Amino acid sequence: MSERFSQFSGKSVYVAPANPAGRALAQHLREDNVKVVAMVDNLKQGRDIINHAEQANGDIQVIVAEGPFQAEICRGLVKKGFRKEAILCHRGNQKLTPFRLSLADLIKDMAEQALRFSIRTLCRILPAKKAVFYAEEFVDTNLLLAWHYYAGMHPDDAELLGINLKGQAMDGDLAVRIQSGWRAYWVLLRARVIVIDHEYTSLLFSEVRLHKPVVQLWHGLPYKSLAGNAHFPNICDTAFVSSSRWFNEHRFPHIFRAEEYLDYGYPRCDALLQPKHQRNWLNSISEEVFDSFTKNSQGIWVYMPTYRDSGDNSYLLNFDALESLCQQYDKTLIFKFHPFISRKFRDAMGLKGDADTLQAIPGYTRLFLFPSARNIYPWLADAEVLITDYSSVALDFLVLDKPIVYYQYDKEAYRHVRGEPMIKDSDFIAGPLVTTETALIATLRELTEGKDAFKYERDALIEKFAIRRQPSLPDITAYIRAVA
């Protein structure tokens, strides 16, 4: 038995946070005969996760895993009602130490309270001006397209704000039109309505959203469990928008707080419902490049896997076999990875040059990497086959009534980290489920030869979930414009 955990042998504890480091610590504790009641996390939700002291079984100690944000996590737990005396910090090979608020922490808390008061006051006294489309670190496609359409209809009533953007590639003068820095904060304080498509926890935004109408576009119908914002009791947005009436009735109200849930659809999915000349190619690879590219083969396949929170994003792919199959059937396979891991993939494959262009993978003529920060949906609309795993893109793609291959080679490991999914597999999988490289190649071959046996399942999911099959942006724009 480890000396540092011996004092808890046979006792119950909570462990924070619910990330790989926290779960590894929980496993070590269990091995030392410590009962881990649940994980504690300020953001994530799941079957074995709690978010507030009110959910805890009595005054049980919380052990916080070592990490760069350990102090911030501890302070967050205190704000969620956990007694600071009940919080212990794991220090690697050292013994567990009690969490103590330092003088710097106390000063920081006082400064935060003063800043929140100032924000509340300014929100009350400043005149409300425009519809503000807001993002932090990365401007995702739903928000970008919603802003672009709205600004085209109401050019004097739209601002696009990007806080702490991480060098994201943008079309033409788009980067110039994104407000940032102190001017962006000033615009946010005077917003008439705020539109977002992610959840943000920065101090400024967290306070401002309590005093302004907020429209949450989110970014997909989830298979995997989501944290949402329901565990923040003060949050209640004006509207939550998705592409499914069923999800709006049975899933989203449990994880996102809003006054109403609207099935207007996702802006990114409009391209899937439109002919090529009507699609918005904003921040995509251009229509001209698409036309030139598609002339060189008889069709494209797209592989879009989700991000692995475990940190293991080494996808199981036989590139030689995929290249051979594409050559045999005159197809092109495009890889579109999550921005978090696209750089690692580029390094592993030896890709050089501009990361913001469509690039052939070295050594192959039919395999290409799509830039991670770009909008692939105008291209996806013409894909013959989608290959994915647990990503919400599978539910988006249903409206095209084309084959979807679910390549889930690491399902148990994925569920171990993410927990139980939000929907049953039978409500997600509407195509061949494969778990090996060999099965993936064989399935693609069968589909190319016309052996698609899943049309009924695709139609059934669209019907059950009441997935919208009309463009979203006219209704979204009208709603935002009407918000007082």
Of 171 and 84, the one with more pLDDT: 84
Whether pLDDT at 8 is above 90? no
- β-strand 385-388 against 300-303: which pairing, if any? parallel
Contact 338, 307 (CB under 8 A): yes
| Residue 286 sits in the same domain as residue 401 | yes
441 and 314 both lie in a single domain:
yes
Q: How far apart are CA 402 and CA 379, in angstroms?
A: 14
> How many separate domains does the chain show?
3
Contacts for 444-449: CB closer than 8 Å, 24+ residues apart = 444/301, 444/325, 444/385, 444/387, 444/405, 445/325, 445/329, 447/385, 447/403, 447/405, 448/329, 448/331
Residue 154 falls inside a structural domain: yes
For 412-465, what is each residue's pLDDT tens digit? 888 877 778 999 999 999 999 999 999 999 999 999 999 999 999 999 999 999
* End-of-domain residue from the set 59, 74, 98: 98
pLDDT of residue 176: 61
Tell whether 283 and 205 lie within a shared domain.
no
Q: Report residue 108's pLDDT band, with 50, 70 and 90 as the boundaries.
A: confident
Which phi and psi (to 5°) does residue 300 adopt?
Answer: -120, 145
Query: What SS3 string covers 18-33?
Result: CCHHHHHHHHHHHHCC
pLDDT, tens digit, 9 for 90 and up, residues 376-404: 999 999 999 999 999 999 999 999 999 99
Q: What is the pTM of this model?
A: 0.86
- Cβ atoms within 10 Å of 321's Cβ, excluding its own: 14
Count of Cβ atoms closer than 10 Å to residue 62 Cβ: 24
Question: What range does the domain containing 92 cover?
Answer: 3-98
Would you place residue 311 in the very low, low, confident or very high pLDDT band (cuts 50, 70, 90)?
low
Q: How far apart are the first and last CA of the chain?
A: 62
Q: Write down the pLDDT at residue 58.
A: 80
Q: For residue 1, what pLDDT band results from cuts at 50, 70 and 90?
A: very low
What's 431's domain CATH number?
Answer: 3.40.50.12580
Q: Do residues 349 and 454 both lie within one domain? A: yes
Report, in this order, helix, strand and coil percent for the chain, each rounded to 5. 40, 15, 45
Q: Do 112 and 204 form a contact (C-beta atoms < 8 A)?
A: no
In this predicted structure, what is the pLDDT of residue 127? 94
User: Higher confidence at residue 188 or residue 56?
Assistant: 188
Q: Which two tokens stand for residue 452?
A: 């698609």
Is 271 a member of any domain? no
The rounded distance, in Å, linking the Cα atoms of 114 and 409 is 50
Are residue 21 and residue 76 in the same domain, yes or no? yes
Q: Does residue 149 form part of some domain?
A: yes
Same domain, 146 and 254: yes
Chain-centre distance for alpha carbon 254: 17
Mean pLDDT score across all residues of the chain:
91
Whether residue 270 is contained in a domain is answered as no
Quick one: 229 and 295 in the same domain?
Answer: no
252 and 317 in a common domain: no
Residue 442 and residue 438: Cα distance in Å, rounded?
6
| Cα-Cα-Cα-Cα dihedral sign, residues 288, 290, 294, 296 | positive
- Predicted confidence at residue 409, as pLDDT, reads 93
Tokens standing for residue 197: 């498509």
CB 386 within 8 A of CB 302: yes
Integer-rounded Cα Rg, in Å, for the chain is 24
